[in-house]
Amino acid sequence: MSEMNQSETMIEVVDLHKRFKDLHVLNGVSTVVKRSEVVAIMGPSGSGKSTFLRCLNRLEEPTSGRIYIEGVDIMAPYIDINRVRTEIGMVFQSFNLFPHLTAIENIKLAPMSVRKISNKEATDRGMALLEKVGLVEKATVYPEQLSGGQQQRVAIARALAMQPQIMFFDEPTSALDPEMIGEVLDVMRNMAKEGMTMMVVSHEMGFIREAADRILFLADGLIVEDGTPDQIFNHSQHERTIEFLGKIL
């Protein structure tokens, strides 16, 4: 993908609001993500990071606002949201592998039942992805027999099997034991290098500093700062950001 036009807009969000009854989680978020950009989303607990990400593929239905994926308004009534979601891979904090299926079956399920590709093709593609995340030997193993890090890598392979244009990561390493975080971040680093467009909710400073092109800093449902890791980490002007970074560093 990297040879494509780097300035092409992948995601455009305009004035996104999300209310849960009386609780205003998002208060008008607007941003643009370009192709192959890696955007980290940071912010204190309850700032709306996860909700923001989940609104972008409408796992949460936004209250108002516009979202354009590759230029298409996905809030429009004629949109088949399931087709939009095939273009956006999502990785969850709690892995959410399907426990009744083996690793390779987890990966094959969506390509076969949504993309309608053959079992053989899906298996080939799945094994290639397992190789990429370093788990070929675990193909026929059920999730409960895998460690957290291995489960998360299978979950990444499962998302990639749909050949998405964009990958969302919702705190992918928060549920992992410390010694397993590295293996998951390595896979994510490789994806970033290959030019995948990524939005990552995470507080892994090392990873963000190294792999992210931009950081969105959210507080109280608003983007309070938007800049490169260097700008945010070293030259932040904003009181909320400085306070937060002071706590986690």
For residue 32, give the DSSP letter.
E
Q: What's the maximum distance between 2 C-alpha atoms anywhere in the chain? A: 55
* Among 162, 198, 199, 208, contact with another protein (rule: CB under 8 A): 162
CB of 126 to another protein, least distance (A): 13
**Window 102-131: residues binding another protein (CB under 8 A):** 109-110, 113-114
Q: Are 157 and 135 in contact (CB under 8 A)?
A: yes
**Interface with another protein includes 97 (CB under 8 A)?**
yes
Q: Is 83 exposed, middle or buried (0-12, 13-18, 19+ CB in 10 A)?
A: exposed
The token pair that represents 245 in the structure block = 């970074």
When the beta carbons of 169 and 217 are compared against another protein, the nearer one is 169
Q: Are 70 and 10 in contact (CB under 8 A)?
A: yes
Strands 64-69 and 72-73: antiparallel
When the beta carbons of 35 and 158 are compared against another protein, the nearer one is 158
Q: Give the C-alpha separation, 208 to 200, whole Å.
A: 9
**Window 69-88: residues binding another protein (CB under 8 A):** 82-86, 88
Per DSSP, the residues of 186-206 read: HHHHHHHHTT-EEEEE---HH
CB of 163 to another protein, least distance (A): 11
CB of 248 to another protein, least distance (A): 25
**Window 22-61: residues binding another protein (CB under 8 A):** 57, 59
CB of 112 to another protein, least distance (A): 10
* Among 11, 103, 133, 159, contact with another protein (rule: CB under 8 A): 159
Residue type, 118: S
Q: What is the contact surface with another protein in residues (CB under 8 A)?
A: 57, 59, 82-86, 88-90, 92, 94, 96-100, 109-110, 113-114, 155, 158-159, 162
